[in-house]
Amino acid sequence: MTDETTATDETTTTDEGAADTKRKAMLLGGMAAALLLFGGLYLAWASGRVNEDLADRNERAQQLVDDFEASRGPADEPNPTSAPIPESGPSLAPGEVMVVHRVPGDDYGRLAIRHLDGTRTLLDRTCMRVHIATDHGVCLAENEGVVASFTTTFFRAENLNADIKSYASALPSRARISPDGTFSAVTAFVSGSSYVDIGAETTTIVTIDEIDSNRLLRGANQFTIDSDEARFNNQNPQYWGITFAADEDEIYVTGFFGDKPEVMHGTLDNMTIEPTGWVGSCPSLSPDGKTLVFKEMTADNSFELVVVNLETNTKHTLGETRSVDDQVEWLDNDTILYALHREGGDTVVQPEFDIWMLDIAEGSEPELFLPNANSPAVAR
Amino acid sequence: MSPRSLDRTFIGRSTEYGAHLGDTYRVYPSVRSMPPTQAGQQSGRRGRVLSQNLLALGFTSFFTDISSEMVVAIVPLFLTTTLGFSFFGFAAYEAAYQGTNAVFRIWGGSIADNRQSHKKTAATGYSISAVTRLGLVLSALVAWVPAIPFLLADRIGKGLRTAPRDALISLSTAPDRLGMAFGVHRAMDTAGALLGPLVAFLVLSSAPGAFDAVFVISAMFAAVGVAVIWMFAQEKPQKQVNQNQRPRIIDQWREVKDTKGVAKIATAVGMLSIVTVGDAFIYLVIQQTSNLSARYFPLLFVGTALVYLVLAVPLGRLADHIGTRPVFLAGNALLIVMYLVVGFSGLGLVASLLCLGLLGAYYAATDGVIPAMVSQLVDTHIRASGIAFVTVVIAVARMLSALLFASLFETLGKTSAMITLSIAMGVAVLVSIQLMAPRNVMTND
């Protein structure tokens, strides 16, 4: 066979091939267009479905909030959620509580003040989690954008527009301001998003910050452990959920060294921590420093709240039967507040939470403190 | 006829159209088996790179990667959070998952070689993955339908298609343009991987929480990818050693292993992979060392992928000019620099970016270059098996590496662990230079 015939053969093949390719390309184009149309229609339907669902949930939640307020205060008061936003910020009276508003819809995630009568005023700042003490507040917020990113911002509780400083953060989880407003402690998930599998997929970072200075952040893993026990040789301990005492030095923090999370006690000045012997996590110290509440993990991976009287060193389980995955806040020296995810509610899109109130005395039962809100922070 | 079209005709005879045109033409299974004069011509003029098959496979990978990365982006920590896997449970699952992937990779390579059906095998793999998306739609809409079997079936499809696809790329490309061809394919693949999460985000921002919509759109992209490979890719059947008696996998592997240079290349690649730290781990170290970079954590992957995307084609071309082995070895040498940066610096923004750049360059210099390197050695009738063999060696080595490094890091701490690793990598590169020396591997390159 000569080169000439080869060339002819190839030309024929190429011509046929070209026609064939063109036909196939048109077929593919048609198919892609049909798929694009179907995908677009499905997306439009899904988007409509989601919006409808959200509108439904908004209506139901708003009704719940209205009913709650009506059951507590005079019925003829104007709807406080539609009240104008204060210009500079709220002045919180002692006993008023700053919360994150959890009514699905446009206002979801905004800060709000729960007044003594159970009504609320919405504020002009959006946070995933908030805490305040004195004039200092910390807001953990998610940024808008393609990749998930988060910002920790310190602000003046009396003037929401006055930021003190802010920095980038990982997925935020717990926030506390020390009683005098000197320090803040923020826990974020470096990886994972659940305390159930801490040490495996979930790793956390705690940063302690002096709010009014520019001193470097201190991570809880920079603390020295004042103990010879073997488990503290773990090279990769996890810390989360700090609570501050009134002296601005003493702290309690959760530490995980490979087995079970335990409550550690420490001091900021010496940067040391030591084991307390209590197995549990997310401690919260009462304002008078006499009582500590934390959560214990049960056999079925849920959390129950326990209380320790630090003076008598006695412990009992609190009267909350549902699993509480929160660091509790103290309303006063005998009462705690915590948020619970609404049972059976949506867990993905604008999940709803309620704040519950519980007396720490044995045999007390929880009472609804505020529907459709979480992250309570009490003004003192 | 211009010199270029002459060149094409020549390439056509050797690899592209050989079997179509019948036995009249002498079919040269690889560069190595060509008469010296023709092989000499080969290095003088270069064949075309963008064959229809390469474009078809590139677009298939592009669309399929959009599809699968959409899913990956929205199923984070699915196993640990939803199924409550423990750490060791998760490790066991990982091992089983890798094992399944390896088995199907070997099987896919073997079938493709035996039946000379690289396209069909790869397309079947892509089709399986596309069908699993419909299963995921179902699991998102119906509460009692679990997602796990579909996620696993997707991996089976992936295992099945990888080796035949790479073999088909090599069979559709002139031997001296393999580096660039794989570079083009990997660049298209990576572009899809970058777009996937973006598409998922766009879908979720217009319909928050509607995972079914993400899976539906993902299925659409997968369907386009599948259509492209079935319609546009063509089989490149090569001469078969035994038409009637199909060799068993073990025989194919023996033949692969006995091919001159393959054992040495596999040893070198395996050894280098053991001292290669996975990118996920590097991201974690960067993230943990510097609080500053916490916000950039999701962007670390994007940064590395962008560098890979940009460098894949140029480094592939470089491999065609100076040889695949020098580029591959230089890519591994880049890791030594990266280890030292990770070990000694506080990993501020500049150092972190440098690490991402080095990591991306490493992938560009190795990921597509390895199948190109293998293709230059392994005869066409066992090409897919050869590629499967080397990639499975890499997978096993990476598993060992993960275990090894976890314990190294725990006992030595960051700096010492990274120094140890960089020394180990240095030794491994030096040994590999010896192992891969031309006299040990091939006679002409």
pLDDT tens per residue, range A192-203? 666 766 665 567
CB-closest option in A6, A193, A349 to B209? A349
Residue A323 per-residue DSSP state: -
Output the six-digit token pair for A350. 């604008």
Q: Which of A234-248, A333-347, B3-17 has the least mean pLDDT?
A: B3-17
Pick A19 or A309 by higher pLDDT: A309
- Give yes or no for residue A149 having a pLDDT over 80: no
pLDDT at A146: 63
Mean pLDDT of A76-91: 51
Reported as a pLDDT band with limits 50, 70 and 90, residue A1 is very low
Could you state, in order of their start, the residue ranges of all structural domains in chain B? 3-44, 49-238, 247-445
Mean pLDDT of A163-192: 85
Helix axes B324-344, B369-377, angle to 10 degrees: 150
At B14 the pLDDT is 28
Residues A116-129: pLDDT tens digits? Answer: 989 999 998 999 99
Which residues from B are below 8 Å from A49, CB to CB?
207, 210
Q: Which of the pair, A22 or B164, is modelled with greater confidence?
A: B164
- Residue B362 φ then ψ, to 5°: -60, -45
Give the strand pairing for A335-341 and A353-359: antiparallel
ipTM of the predicted structure?
0.74
Residue in B188, B393, B103, B386 with CA at minimum distance from that of residue B276: B393
pLDDT of residue B433: 93
Per the listing, tokens 């590999």 go with B432
Candidates B81, B216, B299; nearest CB to A39: B216
Closest CA to A191 of B77, B322, B45, B54: B77
Cβ neighbours of A47 in B, within 8 Å? 206-207, 210, 213
Distance CA A130, CA B281 (A): 32
pLDDT at A334: 94
Q: What percent of chain A has pLDDT over 90?
A: 53
A21 at the B interface (CB within 8 A)?
Answer: yes
Asked if the model's pLDDT at residue A34 lies above 90, the reply is yes
Predicted confidence at residue B158, as pLDDT, reads 92
Tokens of A354: 């309620």
| pLDDT > 80? residue A75 | no
pLDDT of residue B3: 35
Residue B133: in which H helix or E strand, if any? helix B118-141
Write down the pLDDT at residue A138.
93
Q: Are A68 and A139 within 8 A, CB to CB?
A: no
pLDDT at position B297: 59
Q: Average pLDDT of A8-25? A: 69
When CB atoms are compared, the residue of B20, B227, B288 closest to A31 is B227
Interface of A with B in 109-148 (CB under 8 A): 146-148
Beta bridge partners of A154: A138, A165
Q: Hey, which of A168-172, A238-242, B58-62, B76-80 has the most confident mean pLDDT?
A: B58-62
Q: How many contacts does A have with B, using Cβ atoms within 8 A?
A: 124
Asked whether the beta carbons of B68 and B129 are under 8 A apart, the reply is yes
Helix (H, G, I), strand (E, B) or coil at A144: coil
Neighbours of B279 (CB within 10 A): 18
Residue type, B404: L
Q: Tens place of pLDDT for every residue, chain B, 445 residues?
A: 333 333 322 222 222 222 222 222 333 334 333 333 333 334 445 566 788 999 999 999 999 999 998 887 776 544 444 444 444 555 566 666 777 888 899 999 999 998 889 999 999 999 999 999 999 899 888 878 777 788 888 889 999 999 999 999 999 999 889 999 999 999 999 999 999 988 988 898 888 878 889 999 999 999 999 999 999 999 988 765 555 567 778 888 888 888 888 899 999 999 999 999 877 777 777 766 665 444 555 677 888 999 999 999 999 999 999 999 999 999 999 999 999 998 887 767 788 889 889 999 999 999 999 999 999 999 888 999 999 999 999 988 888 887 787 778 778 877 888 999 999 999 999 999 999 887 766 544 4
Least trusted range by pLDDT, from A3-7, A128-132, A193-197, A371-375: A3-7
- Closest Cα partner for A332 from A380, A295, A277, A268? A380
- Is residue A128 within 8 A of residue A56, CB to CB? The reply is no
Nearest to B207 among A9, A50, A188 (CB): A50
Higher pLDDT among residues B3 and A50, named by residue: A50
Cβ–Cβ gap B21/A9 under 8 Å: yes
Nearest residue on chain B to A37, alpha-carbon basis? B220
Give the Cα-Cα-Cα angle A188, A191, A192 (nearest 5 degrees): 95
Mean pLDDT, range A142-149, rounded to an integer: 74
Q: What is the pLDDT of chain A when averaged over all its residues?
A: 85
Partners of A332 in the beta sheet?
A335
A157 vs A176: CA distance, rounded Å: 14
Tell me how far CA of residue A277 lies from CA of A232, A298, A313, in angstroms. Answer: 13, 17, 11
Choose the closest CB to A50 out of B24, B210, B216: B210
Tell me which chain A residues have a C-beta less than 8 angstroms from the C-beta of B294. 168-170, 188, 190, 205
B247-445 fold: Growth Hormone; Chain: A; (1.20.1250)
Scanning A40-69 for CB atoms below 8 A from B yields: 42-43, 46-47, 49-50, 54
Residue of A21, A47, A106, A347 to mutate when probing chain B, most B C-beta within 10 A: A47
> Does A1 sit within 8 Å of B227, measured CB to CB?
no
Fold: same for B49-238 and B247-445? yes
pLDDT at res. B18: 28
Instruction: Please give the residue that has the higher pLDDT: either A296 or A21.
Output: A296
Tokens of A40: 């677009």
Of A18-32, A115-129, A204-218, which gets the smallest average pLDDT? A204-218
Interchain pair A28, B227: CB under 8 A: yes
Residue A379 has pLDDT above 70, yes or no: yes
Cα B36 off chain centre by: 31
On whether any CB of chain B is under 8 Å from the CB of A197, the answer is: yes
User: What is the Cα–Cα distance from B263 to B270, expressed in whole angstroms?
Assistant: 10
Q: How far apart are CA A362 and CA A194, in angstroms?
A: 29
User: Can you identify the CATH homologous superfamily of domain B49-238?
Assistant: MFS general substrate transporter like domains (1.20.1250.20)
Closest residue to A46, CB basis, from B12, B212, B284: B212
Tokens representing A120 are 């609320």
